[in-house]
């Protein structure tokens, strides 16, 4: 009996654990007895893996010890290649179109360099849309029966509760594609039409980790890197969701000297590993919050502390205290521009005297789409814009469209930046509790220029178009 299930995993057992999950955790399903699944794994006490399997299968899991090498050897034999293995039961056969559409969906998204996949229910089935360079496009319709199977399949892979369709849930999945692992974060939302999923592909963040490749103007880049190397201070990177803040944070971490500094980072979630950096993921259930991790770091002789996001007064207070105690702290905050970030921090309850003493700089940013270099064209600059900006150029670049850019005229993105370096005059204004207007005036006299200037420089250089800049950056001029 025992020998039988050890040698040949049963088809119904295999059908309960998706291939990706089995390979991810090195587990081999062996047999199914009513609601109990016998699973071979090397560490039968690994509660993390057992919990994940329990969530994914909604079955009781009975661990069976087996050497990891042996499991790996048998996994390929059990699951075969990517194609469905023969001898599957009917239930598995019904799932096959969903398996194919999930794989196809991820392939399409990776090929298009999408950052997110939106799986949206509708009256007649559903729609899959991809976010590419910040724009949702390329909708693909899905038949109603396939839609439900597709959603279940993704939730299963992400370790979410398939049966629960009424609560928003989140999960993570990892699927092998084109010889590498693609990691994604999945969030579900119950809508009046059914469940909607948004999948954030974490792979694409890995592309730009070079701070010099983000598109910061040279002088600003030099100033920012100098501030990153100062022994203490408080640097805030700000912008709305999707403005590239996370990429900037990772590029900043990667730019630090981790060999001679203790660099600690708390993130929600850790999207990318940075060599030499102590990275901690937020986990409220285990009591790990931005604040508690930050307090923990303070007891471990830190030099640089990165806090993924400043969300509450307590975290902000500890972060400012850390910077005043002689650490360099950097973080992100949702805000529209650099001067308003100071107001936001005061709004979070940070004492203005501490803020005045601690804050070093605010970097605000947006991402604009880069004009496709293969097809971009030129057009005359409208007279009123020529007059407003006092530009001598007669023409600027405009999008055209070609096969290389899927007829959009754009390919990839580049950051548009502004940086507010806190000088003595601004420190005084912050300390005196100055209004937004007073802060902006003090910032301007200290050399601060709004990001529309960097943006317009990028229009003039042909990196992007004026229309694209208007789409992304708040504007107070003609256009
Ligand atoms: Zn093109």
Confidence bin at 104 (pLDDT 50/70/90): confident
CATH architecture of the domain with residue range 90-203:
2-Layer Sandwich (3.30)
Q: What is the mean pLDDT of residues 430-456?
A: 90
Distance 399 CA to ligand 1 centre (A): 8
Judge whether residue 468 has pLDDT over 90: yes
Mean pLDDT of 331-338: 89
Confidence band, pLDDT 50/70/90 cuts, at residue 379: very high
Q: How far is the CA of 371 from the centre of ligand 1 (A)?
A: 8
156 Cα to the center of ligand 1, angstroms = 38
**Per-residue model confidence (pLDDT) at position 476:** 65
Q: Where are the domains of the chain?
A: 2-79, 90-203, 208-472
How far, in Å, from the CA of 401 to the mean position of ligand 1? 4
**pLDDT attached to residue 86:** 43
pLDDT tens digit sequence for 215-274: 999 999 999 999 999 999 999 999 998 898 988 998 999 899 888 899 999 998 887 788
Residues whose CB is less than 8 angstroms from the CB of residue 145 and which lie 6 or more positions away in sequence, other chains included: none
Instruction: Read off the pLDDT of residues 346-376 as tens digits, 9 standing for 90 and up.
Output: 888 889 999 999 999 999 999 999 999 999 9
* Predicted TM-score of the model (pTM): 0.68
Distance 462 CA to ligand 1 centre (A): 14
Among residues 316, 325, 315, the alpha carbon closest in space to that of 345 is found at 316
Cα 400 to averaged position of ligand 1 atoms, centre (Å): 7
Alpha-carbon distance 389 to 418, whole Å?
18
- 304-307 and 377-380: which strand pairing? unpaired
Confidence of residue 85 (pLDDT cuts 50, 70, 90): very low
Instruction: Given CATH 3.40.190.10, say whether it is the number of domain 2-79.
Output: no
- CA dist 110 and 439 (Å) reads 44
**Which tokens go with 198?**
């948004």
pLDDT tens for 61-72 read 999 888 888 888
pLDDT in tens, 261-311: 999 999 988 877 888 899 999 988 888 999 999 999 999 999 999 999 988
Residue 377 CA to ligand 1 centre (angstroms): 10
Q: What is the pLDDT at residue 81? A: 55
Average pLDDT over residues 321-331: 93
The Å distance, Cα 464 to ligand 1 centre, comes to 13
- CB of 247 within 8 A of CB of 216? no
Supply the mean pLDDT for the chain.
Answer: 86
208-472: CATH homologous superfamily? P-loop containing nucleotide triphosphate hydrolases (3.40.50.300)
CA of 474 from ligand 1 middle (Å) equals 26
User: Tens digit of pLDDT for each residue in 126-175?
Assistant: 999 999 888 888 788 988 888 988 999 999 889 898 888 888 998 988 87
Q: What's the 458 CA to ligand 1 centre distance in angstroms? A: 18
């Amino acid at each position: 009996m025992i020998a039988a299930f050890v040698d040949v995993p049963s088809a119904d057992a295999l059908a309960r654990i998706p291939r990706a999950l089995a390979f991810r955790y090195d587990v081999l399903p062996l047999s199914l007895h009513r609601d109990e699944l016998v699973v071979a794994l090397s560490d039968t006490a690994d509660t993390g893996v057992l919990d994940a399997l329990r969530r994914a299968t909604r079955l009781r899991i009975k661990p069976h010890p087996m050497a990891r090498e042996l499991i790996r050897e048998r996994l390929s034999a059990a699951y075969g290649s990517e194609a469905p293995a023969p001898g599957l039961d009917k239930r598995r056969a019904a799932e096959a179109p969903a398996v194919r559409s999930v794989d196809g969906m991820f392939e399409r998204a990776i090929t298009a360099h999408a950052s997110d996949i939106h799986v949206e229910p509708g009256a007649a089935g559903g729609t899959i849309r991809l976010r590419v360079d910040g724009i949702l496009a390329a909708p693909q319709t899905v038949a109603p029966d396939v839609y439900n199977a597709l959603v279940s399949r993704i939730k299963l892979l992400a370790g979410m509760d398939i049966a629960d369709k009424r609560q928003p849930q989140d999960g993570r999945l990892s699927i092998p594609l084109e010889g590498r692992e693609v990691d994604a974060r999945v969030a579900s939302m119950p809508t009046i039409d059914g469940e909607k999923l948004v999948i954030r592909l974490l792979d694409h963040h890995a592309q730009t980790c070079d701070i010099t490749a983000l598109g910061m103007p040279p002088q600003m880049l030099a100033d920012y890197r100098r501030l990153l190397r100062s022994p203490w201070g408080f640097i805030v990177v700000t912008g709305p969701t999707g403005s590239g803040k996370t990429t900037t944070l990772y590029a900043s971490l990667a730019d630090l000297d981790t060999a001679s500094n203790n660099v600690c980072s708390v993130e929600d979630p850790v999207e990318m590993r940075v060599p030499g950096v102590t990275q901690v993921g937020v986990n409220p259930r285990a009591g790990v919050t931005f604040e508690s991790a930050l307090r923990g770091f303070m007891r471990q002789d830190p030099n640089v502390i990165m806090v993924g996001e400043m969300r509450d007064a307590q975290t902000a207070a500890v972060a400012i205290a850390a910077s005043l105690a002689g650490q360099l702290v950097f973080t992100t905050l949702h805000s529209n521009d650099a001067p308003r970030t100071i107001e936001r921090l005061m709004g979070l309850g940070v004492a203005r005297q501490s803020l005045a003493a601690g804050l070093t700089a605010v970097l605000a940013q947006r991402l604009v789409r880069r004009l496709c270099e293969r097809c971009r064209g030129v057009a005359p600059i409208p007279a009123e814009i020529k007059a407003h900006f006092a530009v001598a150029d007669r023409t600027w670049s405009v999008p055209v469209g070609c096969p290389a850019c899927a007829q959009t005229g754009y390919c990839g993105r580049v950051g548009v930046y502004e940086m507010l370096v806190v000088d003595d005059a601004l420190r005084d204004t912050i300390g005196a509790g100055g209004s937004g207007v007073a802060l902006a005036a003090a910032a301007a006299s200290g050399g601060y220029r709004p990001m529309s200037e960097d943006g317009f420089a990028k229009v003039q250089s042909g990196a992007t178009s004026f229309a694209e800049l208007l789409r992304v950056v708040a504007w107070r001029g003609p256009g």
